Structure 1
């Protein structure tokens, strides 16, 4: 659902009729009952809000849902050839045992933001994520439990030793290599079939959505480090170039097919940002 909102729905008013959502997700073998159940859980967890018009239900993202969706969307499409500013963002926390679930949520969110665990209760990131972290602290009312600060140097260890403590780039590279092997073959096949007019709009919608959904999984394991902290000849760079090429090959027909599936609310007034839907890379920095 987050993939569909990030790739398509956010550019068409950020609200979708449940019938359209069911139709879209049926292309991936997901049953109507599963979709309705998932949508209900998303409402209960504060990611979705729903409004009724007659007998129809229309779902949109809450501010919490938008933040979660945009965190992933921005990391998928943003340019990554930036230089490290020299600062580590370091977060420590101490959560009472009776709030164990909150502690687990903190760990999960920090991992998603690219933090690495460098010692017990201490997480670090070289990325400029202060605003993102402060929003997370506010959303979950964590002020009594966490401290966030920055440091331009680590006295006891050098930067590479710190990186080795918090992240396993060898394992991440293996995942990228598998993605490259799979989609390099697919890209060659798509190019040939597109040239021969054998690639349908429906297939492009399915394949683009699968591509993004699969690539988004790196959001959970790759901390998106600045270039000067990455290993040499980094597989993630090659995977990203391949992702861009496949994505753009499929984009126009995929959006064309999405527009046949999408039904907006009768009272919804918006101007679809079709260009952005076709090319999300165009102005994400």
Structure 2
């Protein structure tokens, strides 16, 4: 994306470049912004909020209805107003994504590998296919149709998936350790055969091209517009999330030098920190709950990306 001459030009350019789908964008807004503030919002205020992304009332209503069918959201009717809250299932999915999207920059690796072995006869074919697909979303790579592996998987999310599909007692999940006597070249070849590293590198390069100009434009501003910051924060997290949830988040030792994924995470962290306060101000002025304005963000919000400034601590110090 070319560097815009005015900050007002940022949003139209990014909306065109990112091209978010309404349903997916609402998931981003709930996961990134609404859930840390309790997870509930009045539909009317949500419609007004999503209008800043050029989404019509009809599209928002239709998308929210579909998110209820998919068990992301649930509706509570109070008088003539509808309030949509995150379901327990949705909360679990958001929590799993939270651990990946807002992880600290540095990640340690004990050189261990999780190996998941799928029996061919114990699990119906349809369930096997869904299991492999869902494990792919959790970052597992396929060594063979019945053996999947990951060097640093989210064990909580894996056990939750196995339980949901009813296959916890039909697969073998084990931990292996890489024998360093083997060549590093063979390990790199294995990584490239299990994961599409080149495509991810290209996707992250596109992300950097879209959001580095945003950083440059905003970093030069003395004051930041709250509405602009909220829209940019949402589009950034939405774009980053779409790539990251296809990224196995391999340890640096297994990735090419100057990995674009690490540069993208650093840019996302820095830009998020820059625009977090004004974007939060706008969010809390726009959204309403059954009890009034959104409550303050929960403590876990301030742990994102290894730590954000806590406004409450600032106010206490004044």
TM above 0.5, yes or no, is yes
Task: Please indicate the TM-score interval, normalised by the length of the shorter structure.
Answer: 0.7 to 0.9
Structure 1 runs not aligned, ≥5 long: none
SS in 2 for 1:123: strand
Structure 1 match to 2:21: none
Structure 2 match to 1:92: 117
Among candidates 275, 286, 289, match of residue 250 of structure 1: 275
Among candidates 211, 216, 219, match of residue 191 of structure 1: 219
Q: Does 1:140 pair with 2:168? A: no
RMSD: 2.9
Distance 2:125 2:194 in 1: 22
**Does the CA-based 8 Å contact 1:89-1:130 persist in structure 2?**
no
Q: How far has the Cα of 1:275 moved from its partner?
A: 7.2
**Does the CA-based 8 Å contact 1:80-1:224 persist in structure 2?**
no
Note closer, same or farther for the CA distance 1:274–1:223 as it changes in structure 2 (3 Å cut). same
TM-score, normalised to structure 2, is: 0.78
Structure 2 runs not aligned, ≥5 long: 1-25, 309-318
Distance 2:57 2:120 in 1: 40
Q: How far has the Cα of 1:26 moved from its partner?
A: 1.8
Q: Deviations over 1:135-169 (max 9, x none)?
A: 11112323365332222248999432321221122
Structure 2 match to 1:209: 234
**Does the CA-based 8 Å contact 1:204-1:253 persist in structure 2?**
yes
Structure 1 match to 2:5: none
Alignment: residue pair count: 280
Q: How far has the Cα of 1:37 moved from its partner?
A: 2.1
SS in 2 for 1:118: strand
Distance 1:63 1:69 in 2: 10
TM-score, normalised to structure 1, is: 0.86
Q: How far has the Cα of 1:50 moved from its partner?
A: 2.1
Mapping of 1:30-109 within 5 angstroms? 30-94=55-119, 102-109=127-134
**Does the CA-based 8 Å contact 1:252-1:278 persist in structure 2?**
no
**Does the CA-based 8 Å contact 2:36-2:297 persist in structure 1?**
yes
SS in 2 for 1:165: helix
Distance 1:93 1:33 in 2: 44
**Does the CA-based 8 Å contact 2:41-2:287 persist in structure 1?**
yes
**Does the CA-based 8 Å contact 1:50-1:59 persist in structure 2?**
yes
Distance 2:45 2:292 in 1: 16
Structure 2 match to 1:223: 248
Q: Deviations over 1:195-220 (max 9, x none)?
A: 2x4x4211111111101111111223
**Does the CA-based 8 Å contact 1:90-1:148 persist in structure 2?**
yes
